[in-house]
């Protein structure tokens, strides 16, 4: 019995030690997970906004530090939200920031939010803040570009399907737009889009940096096509002294349907337009600027392929449906 008691006591002690070891291991695992989450959130926040306040928020180790850093970051975001009103192309970015800001305010109002909560909210708030700040910069760049274009005396106002279709005062008849249909405009990304033709989600598209359409909508293209067009535009600007003029880029499914109804077989069957893939652009239908044999079009035809932008065979002057204004990205 004594032996049994000794063995039983040893087993109990061993079980107690084992239990403590498991608890320590579990605690260490939780610390590692928390550190990993904090590191991930810190990266996201610092990528989104290289701001010292964000850095303090995502590296805070005490409740007091976390609350103070999060409150400071919220004030910066609030200032950006106010300053960007009416100065972004898509107000949904500001709405997203406002929603995250409300969450941050609620967390900061809690007496001593946990450091983990502060890290999570700060990462989200920092990214949303940076998105709005960048959208505001892009909006201002587009406004500046539009003003510069309007000031160019050699560029008639009006254009093709993406403009009002009007003619510029004093423009010779031969130089007026060749488009005489109802106005159509470029499309924003399709929220909730499934990636099919005319239904591309925001993650698939990028706005060009230098222009917006007459309604203020950015000219979106598929991410790789937009990057290539940015490079092409740089070379075009170096050659001609101004940015490439745009008329239409991405065209959502609803716009394709409307154009088919208005223009008949001239427009593509809805769901088949190359514009619906984010891989096509139209320059203005201004024959004296981009028409057959003009220096600007000839340069685009000759140099566009180096950047992946080509004229499809059907759109060439001897093609089945000549369109001097149409270009497509083939990579």
pLDDT of residue 234: 96
User: What's the mean pLDDT in 126-140?
Assistant: 79
Angle at 288 between CA 217 and CA 320, to 5 degrees: 80
Integer Cα distance of 92 and 143 in angstroms: 19
**Mean pLDDT, the chain, integer:** 77
CB 212 within 8 A of CB 138: no
pLDDT of residue 158: 35
pLDDT of residue 297: 97
Q: pLDDT digit string (tens) for 307-329? A: 999 999 999 999 999 999 999 99
Q: Which of 18-22, 202-206, 243-247, 276-280 has the lowest mean pLDDT?
A: 18-22
Integer Cα distance of 210 and 148 in angstroms: 10
2 by Cβ neighbours in 10 Å (0-12 / 13-18 / 19+) ranks as: exposed
User: What's the mean pLDDT in 101-118?
Assistant: 74
pLDDT of residue 302: 97
User: What's the mean pLDDT in 251-258?
Assistant: 95
pLDDT of residue 26: 47
User: What's the mean pLDDT in 153-173?
Assistant: 44
pLDDT of residue 17: 44
Name the residue ranges covered by the structural domains of the chain.
Answer: 2-136, 156-329
Burial 139-170 (b: 16+ CB within 10 A, else e): beebeebbeeeeeeeebbbbbbbbbebeeeee
Q: pLDDT digit string (tens) for 33-73? A: 444 344 434 433 433 443 555 555 555 456 666 677 777 88
Residue 225 in this model has a pLDDT that exceeds 50: yes
CB 190 within 8 A of CB 200: yes
pLDDT of residue 276: 97
Q: Which CATH architecture best describes the domain 156-329?
A: 2-Layer Sandwich (3.30)
Higher pLDDT, 27 or 249: 249
């Amino acid at each position: 019995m004594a032996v049994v008691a000794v063995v039983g006591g040893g087993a109990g002690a061993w079980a107690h030690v084992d239990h403590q070891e498991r608890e320590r291991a579990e605690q260490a695992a939780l610390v590692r997970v928390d550190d990993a989450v904090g590191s991930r959130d810190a990266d996201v926040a610092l990528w989104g906004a290289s701001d010292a306040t964000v850095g303090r928020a995502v590296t805070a180790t005490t409740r007091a530090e976390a609350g103070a850093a999060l409150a400071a970051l919220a004030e910066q975001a609030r200032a950006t939200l106010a300053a960007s009103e009416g100065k972004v192309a898509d107000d949904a970015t500001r709405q997203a920031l406002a929603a995250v800001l409300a969450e941050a305010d609620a967390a900061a109002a809690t007496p001593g939010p946990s450091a983990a909560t502060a890290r999570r909210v700060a990462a989200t708030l920092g990214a949303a803040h940076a998105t709005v700040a960048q959208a505001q910069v892009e909006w201002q760049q587009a406004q500046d570009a539009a003003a510069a274009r309007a000031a160019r005396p050699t560029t008639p106002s009006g254009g093709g399907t993406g403009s009002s279709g009007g003619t510029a005062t004093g423009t010779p008849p031969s130089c007026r737009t060749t488009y005489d249909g109802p106005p159509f405009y470029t499309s924003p990304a399709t929220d909730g889009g499934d990636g099919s033709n005319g239904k591309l989600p925001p993650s698939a598209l990028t706005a060009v940096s230098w222009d917006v359409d007459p309604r203020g909508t950015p000219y979106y293209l598929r991410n790789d096509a937009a990057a290539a067009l940015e490079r092409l535009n740089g070379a075009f600007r170096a050659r001609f002294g101004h940015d490439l003029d745009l008329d239409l880029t991405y065209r959502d499914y609803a716009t394709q349907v409307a154009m088919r109804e208005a223009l008949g077989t001239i427009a593509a069957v809805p769901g088949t337009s190359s514009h619906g893939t984010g891989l096509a652009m139209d320059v203005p239908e201004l024959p004296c600027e981009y028409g057959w044999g003009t220096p600007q079009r000839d340069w685009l035809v000759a140099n566009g392929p180096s950047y992946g932008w080509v004229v499809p065979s059907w759109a060439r002057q001897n093609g089945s449906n000549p369109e001097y204004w149409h270009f497509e990205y083939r990579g």
